[in-house]
Structure 1
Amino acid sequence: MAESDGLRYTRMALNNGSGSIPALGFGTLIPDHVATRTATKAALEAGFRQLDASERYRNEVQVGEAMEEVFKAGEIKREDVFVATKLWNNNHRPERVKPAFEASLEKLRLDYVDLYLIHTPFAFQPGDEQDPRDSHGNMIYDEGVTLLDTWRALESLVDEGRCKAIGLSDVNLAQASEIFEAARIKPAIVHVESHPYLPEWDLLDYCSKNGIVMQAFAALGHSSKPNLLEDPVITAIARRVGKTPAQVLLGWAIQRGTALLTTSKTPSRIKENFEVSALPEEAVREISERITTRVRFNAVVETGVPGFIPRG
């Protein structure tokens, strides 16, 4: 392995003055509850200081238990960890936002979160059902609320002090700019699928110019086909610089200016994914310029139904 450097500890300043987010984050989209707890604990012990959760993942309780166990051990403090969670689509009505937020806090066993995101720009029928569908199996949307209505409710959470920053997830450039222009409290984070097959250069440029951190999920392609980890450009660079393909992809993501999320249930893989170090600049350019495959792995931006989360 190449000698380590400080890339893995990169932090990105938030535009509302509430601090900074670690560029290297751990995503908790893990369906199995026991695995969620052990993986979250392993991620913190490996060095990850940014955790991404969501009410839609249905495992905030286990994420909270893992954090509580680690914090009680004393080596890692709550204030050392940047914790994000997300509002799901059935809670977009302004009157439903605060109860949903407070429910997430309770499950996570936290007094505050560092970031609260609107999980998708799609509003579903309000109620307890996360996937409301009609008799034909079609999603039931809520036409009575706008994304800006929901955003205003998130701004109120920041005012109350239990949420340090707010952001958007699974949006396109038009949606991000619409909220940014209208917002009293600007989005600090825009959280989208992004990797060399979906670089989102225009959105990244907009975010950079407006002080927004763009955070990439599925940074390793989420084990989907075509497999990013087997891309010949990536594997050739990995051999050349003495890193794994995953470490090459994660290094590229940070060096081009994005924060990112990576997820694994395997402690050794979690540790590997934290052991990221800087790539030569020519390798960063090679990935950006030579990889021309364009694939979106998650169709959530089209329907609001996340492709990586089981419906059950």
Structure 2
Amino acid sequence: MSYEPIFDALRETRFPLVNGCGDMPAVGFGTLFKDLSVTTQAIKHALETGFRHFDCAERYRNEEMVGAAFKAFLETGKAQREDLFITTKLWNTNHRPERVLPAFEASCRRLQVDYIDCYLIHTPFAFQPGDDQDPRDPFGHIIYDGGVTLIETWRAMERLVDEGRCKSIGLSDITLQALKEIVAQARIKPAVVQVESHPYLPEWELLEFCQAHGIIVLAFAPLGHGMEPNVLEDEVITGIARRLQKSPAQVALAWSVQRGVAFLTTSATLSHIRENFDIATLPHRAMHEIRQDITTRIRFNSVVETGVPGFIPRKK
């Protein structure tokens, strides 16, 4: 017999933001696509399916296309701007304090919104300021900016909150140690920390620290990004999926929300978008199995070490 609750509210879960500035839907949709031309249609599919939390970034180079989808959907009257939770991110080349506000305002213009719900520092690494998002020397090495510290960038982020331009601020692709340093010095504490996390990288220590400080952990690549070893082919995950008559993806995503971690999935395929939204509460036994029986530990994206986003290809 399948495990199918009469009504399951897991997909409706919301996590409160620190400073009483609202809450974030735990179920989120990422907007990073290899083929930028699919962006607007994918966002429209996600909105129609029921997603209300969207994660954007200057670096993704498609904020205009995301904004076009938001505008079209809001014009149908099916939702108001306040029904959407929109995150975007400050890129590495804009860490100098005087560059933060212009970068923020440019994102707002492209997304066609008056305010942002959450603005994140995309990575803790400052790159050479300028229009080139990927500044490199003649040898192909990234040119970092030694003239600005992360706390200086954070102070400029705090001013955006002071001025009511964004409801909350946070960090992305950051280690626990670097996060602790910001939390210790911040006047306005980070509301959100976005990191890679999935059953092969549960980040329990980071989660414990964040929960102690009221910080939401937001997982990217919650399904392992299709990398090897494949999270969705894990025997524990597939076994639970068979028992509950759910897909492995639905099991991994439900696990995320139930342990208190918001997630972002990305797809341009309507059936996958619907599948990723249609999660239901896992029994305690399944949660225990995932925590105790999965021992593989692997990070798929090296951005946390360099500030350069990229999944690391691995052979089986």
TM-score by length of 2: 0.96
Aligned to 1:272: 275
Aligned to 2:103: 100
Aligned to 1:221: 224
Aligned to 1:208: 211
Aligned to 2:35: 32
TM-score by length of 1: 0.98
Q: In the alignment, residue 236 of structure 2 is paired with which amino acid? A: V
Residue 157 (structure 1) aligned with residue 157 (structure 2):
no
Q: Quick one: distance in 2 between partners of 1:257 and 1:31? A: 29
Aligned to 1:16: 19
1:31 deviation in Å? 2.7
1:44 deviation in Å? 0.9
8 A Cα contact 1:64 1:109, kept in partner: yes
Q: In the alignment, residue 108 of structure 1 is paired with which amino acid? A: L
Residue 119 (structure 1) aligned with residue 122 (structure 2):
yes
Q: In the alignment, residue 132 of structure 2 is paired with which amino acid? A: E
Aligned to 1:198: 201
8 A Cα contact 2:96 2:148, kept in partner: yes
1:221 deviation in Å? 0.5
Q: Quick one: distance in 2 between partners of 1:74 and 1:31? A: 30
What SS does the corresponding residue of 1:107 show, helix, strand or coil?
A: helix
Residue 44 (structure 1) aligned with residue 47 (structure 2):
yes
Aligned to 1:174: 177
Residue 290 (structure 1) aligned with residue 309 (structure 2):
no
Q: Quick one: distance in 2 between partners of 1:43 and 1:295? A: 29
Unaligned runs of 5+ in 1: none
Percent identity of equivalent pairs: 62
Q: In the alignment, residue 135 of structure 2 is paired with which amino acid? A: P
Unaligned runs of 5+ in 2: none
Q: In the alignment, residue 181 of structure 1 is paired with which amino acid? A: A
Alignment of 1:177-188 (within 5 A): 177-188=180-191
1:34 deviation in Å? 2.5
Q: Deviations over 1:73-121 (max 9, x none)?
A: 1111111010000000000000000000000000000000100000000
8 A Cα contact 2:302 2:311, kept in partner: no
Q: Quick one: distance in 2 between partners of 1:92 and 1:289? A: 40
Q: 2:84 aligns with which of 81, 84, 102?
A: 81
Q: 1:68 aligns with which of 66, 71, 74?
A: 71
Residue 258 (structure 1) aligned with residue 292 (structure 2):
no
Q: Quick one: distance in 2 between partners of 1:80 and 1:308? A: 32
Q: Give the root-mean-square deviation of aligned CA atoms.
A: 1.0
What SS does the corresponding residue of 2:107 show, helix, strand or coil?
A: helix
1:125 deviation in Å? 0.4
Q: Quick one: distance in 2 between partners of 1:33 and 1:80? A: 25
What SS does the corresponding residue of 2:159 show, helix, strand or coil?
A: helix
Residue 6 (structure 1) aligned with residue 45 (structure 2):
no
